[in-house]
Amino acid sequence: MKLFNYVVLFIYITQLNLYAQISSQSMQASVNMIKPLAITAIGGEIDFSEIILTGTPRNIVLSPQNGKIFKVEGHPNRNIIITFSSQPLTNSQWVSNFGGTIGTINFSPSVVHTGANSSYSNPISITSGSSITLPNSQGIGNLYIWVGGSISIAANQPHGDYIGTFNLTVSY
């Protein structure tokens, strides 16, 4: 009887192995390494120079070609968002040092890009919030941004050195 039990147990165990199934699958793992964005100021200034007050209101324009130049580097062929803002120029620091009347001047930026071209050629106007694709320049996304703008001088504009802030931001 013991032998019979062993034979039945052996048949039962071998039958279990006949019905066992194994399944496997292979897949790839991947990652997309994105070059970080960087802005570098490479030349020029947003400087309207010296202006003689005449008692007459006027607008002064600084072409982007004669303004500040920035180089943006990032991942080639990726879209970036360019935003910018400016604050009014004020002579408050000058007045605190020398006395006089505090005044402000509104600065309206004019921003263009020339793609991967570092010379001012075929500029394309940019509005704040624009989406632009970084041109591929030997495996690096390069974009040149040029900033100029205009100021409006009032007839009774107080004299002094006026300073303000211009902010430029790029993001993926």
Domain boundaries, the chain: 35-171
| Alpha carbons 119 and 161: distance in angstroms, whole number | 31
Looking at residue 103, what is its pLDDT? 98
Confidence (pTM): 0.81
For residue 38, what pLDDT is reported?
A: 96
> Helices (DSSP H) in the chain: which residue ranges?
2-19, 92-98
Contact 82, 132 (CB under 8 A): yes
Q: Determine the pLDDT at residue 22.
A: 84
Type of residue numbered 171: S
Task: Read off the tokens for 172.
Answer: 């993926």
Contact, 128 vs 167, CB < 8 A? Answer: no
How many Cβ atoms sit within 10 Å of the Cβ of residue 170? Answer: 20
Domain 35-171: give its CATH architecture: Sandwich (2.60)
**Which amino acid type is present at position 64?**
P
pLDDT at 1: 62
Residue 59 has a pLDDT of: 97
Q: What is the pLDDT of residue 23?
A: 84
Pick out the chain residues at pLDDT < 70.
Answer: 1-20
- The span from the CA of 122 to the CA of 110, in Å, is 15
H/E run at residue 95: helix 92-98
Angle at 45 between CA 40 and CA 48, to 5 degrees: 155
- Residue 163 DSSP label: B
Q: Could you give the CA distance from residue 10 to residue 2 in angstroms, rounded to a whole number? A: 12
